Every structure is written in structure tokens, then in C-alpha cells.
Structure 1
Amino acid sequence: MTGDGVVSCARCGRLRDPDGDPARNLAWAAEWDHGVLRWLCPDCARAHVRDIEGKLPTEYWG
């Protein structure tokens, strides 16, 4: 999340549109990484679901 409350994807930088599709906005995934809240857009979350569930460090994500 940026300082102004806008959520951006930690992997690709995509911004969440607060006025966009509510179902798509709910599909964003949040995770804590070394004490920092990180957001993933639905596409990046889907692409890395096994890495996320396996709790692999983000530097291993290809």
C-alpha cells in the first residue's frame, strides 16, 4: 500500500482500482513478509499460489 492508501501489487506494480470491479478487488491477496504488509494482484497471486502456500521466500519466485 502506498502512503496515500492506494494498494499496489508487490510483484508487478499494478494498482488496485477502488472504483473497479468489487469481485476483482476482493481477489487481491495480502501477506506479511518480514513484518511488512505486501499485496499481490489476482494475476500474480494465482501465478505464485504454490510458492505462497509453500511459504517460499519471494526471492525464489520465478
Structure 2
Amino acid sequence: MTAPVGVACARCGTARTAGEDPARALAWAADRDDGGLRWLCPDCARQHVRDIEAKLPAEYW
């Protein structure tokens, strides 16, 4: 699943743009939290990969 254009990162607010590098566009991570879908940009996803994999609540990162 690729992040839709115009989506913003839930951590830092970076927006995905239409002209973004295709490899970077595929690196966006989707996370279901409290019944909602939120997106993390590649930088935030990379920074918090251990927290995400451990299923820690976002308040702990």
C-alpha cells in the first residue's frame, strides 16, 4: 500500500507530494492506532522501527 498524495506524517508533519521519488513514496509506513489509519514518513519510520515492531504505544516514542 502506497501513501496517498497529500498525506502528512503523524509524527513530524511532512507531507507526501506527487513529485516525490517513487522509492521514497513506497517507504511510507501505515499504522493503525485507536481504530484510525495514520502514516509515518520514511525518516520517522526508520527512526522508530523498533518501537513500531514492538507495538509500543506512540506515547512511548
Give the structure-1-normalised TM-score.
Answer: 0.87
Root-mean-square deviation over aligned CA pairs: 1.0
Match of 2:51 in 1: 51
Match of 1:34 in 2: 34
Q: Where does structure 2 lack aligned partners over 5 or more consecutive residues?
A: none
- Runs of 4+ that moved beyond 3 A: none
Residue identity in the other structure for 1:54: A
Give the structure-2-normalised TM-score.
Answer: 0.88
Q: Where does structure 1 lack aligned partners over 5 or more consecutive residues?
A: none
Q: What is the aligned-residue identity percentage?
A: 70
